[in-house]
Amino acid sequence: MHFFSQAFTYEHPWHHVVIGMWHKYPNSKCTHVVSIDTLDRTVDPKTGIIRTERLMGCKQKAPAWIVKFFGGSEDAFVREISFVDPSTQNVQITSVNLSLSQFATCYEQIHYSPNPHNPLQQTDFTQTAEVQARLAIWRSAANGLEKWLVQRFEQNAQLGKSGFTEILRQLWEERAQVPLQQGGSESS
């Protein structure tokens, strides 16, 4: 598992940052984000919390060995869930990769909240990410591959044995008959 984290304070009030959040892309520094779609959105009529599920499409050149090994492509998709809670002035954003998720997951969490010392003018941003290769799945895939190979080997070995048995029988039955036939023609 690998971790990443950073924290930063924006010189804007919380509600400006949260309004700005929906205008973050496209931006010239993040050209790798090429599409954003909303898949689901609810406004909770009791709490006022807005939950949004989005799908981001990214184009990021992966190193050649990664593309070769994992069969990935330039297009990668990420699922993002955000909660905007006006009553606690908290935004929580969680993102998980969809592409290559069978091999590894990147779980990212972002929070925006008013800076405790200057809540009307500053907003704290924290970001953490956990990258984890799916070892369990690797192991079970490797195990499955071994099993399949052994089964194939067993099947082929059985076929090889019965095939050769057949060949031997035919060969020597034929040879046993040839002298008889030759003997028969002499006698006629």
Residues near other proteins, by CB under 8 A: 5, 15, 18-19, 22-23, 25-26, 33-39, 41, 43-51, 55, 57, 77, 79, 81, 83-90, 92, 94, 96, 98-99, 101, 111, 128
Which of 80, 82, 10, 70 lies closest to 42 in space, CA to CA? Answer: 82
* Cα 182 to Cα 78: distance, rounded to the nearest angstrom: 80
Q: How far is the CB of 14 from other proteins (least distance, A)?
A: 8
Residue number, 55 or 62, with CB nearest to other proteins: 55
Smallest distance from other proteins to CB 133, Å:
16
CB of residue 165 to other proteins, shortest distance in Å? 47
Residue position matching structure tokens 């304070």: 9
In this complex, which beta carbon is closest to other proteins, that of residue 70 or of residue 77? 77
Distance of CA 131 to the CA centre of its chain: 12
Q: For residues 158 and 176, give the distance between their C-alpha atoms in angstroms, rounded to a whole number.
A: 27
State in angstroms the smallest separation of the CB of 39 from other proteins. Answer: 7
**Proportion of the chain in helix, strand, coil states, percent, rounded to 5:** 35, 40, 25
User: Could you say which DSSP state residue 74 is in?
Assistant: S
Closer to other proteins at the Cβ: 137 or 149? Answer: 137
Measured from the CB atom, is 20 or 160 closer to other proteins? 20
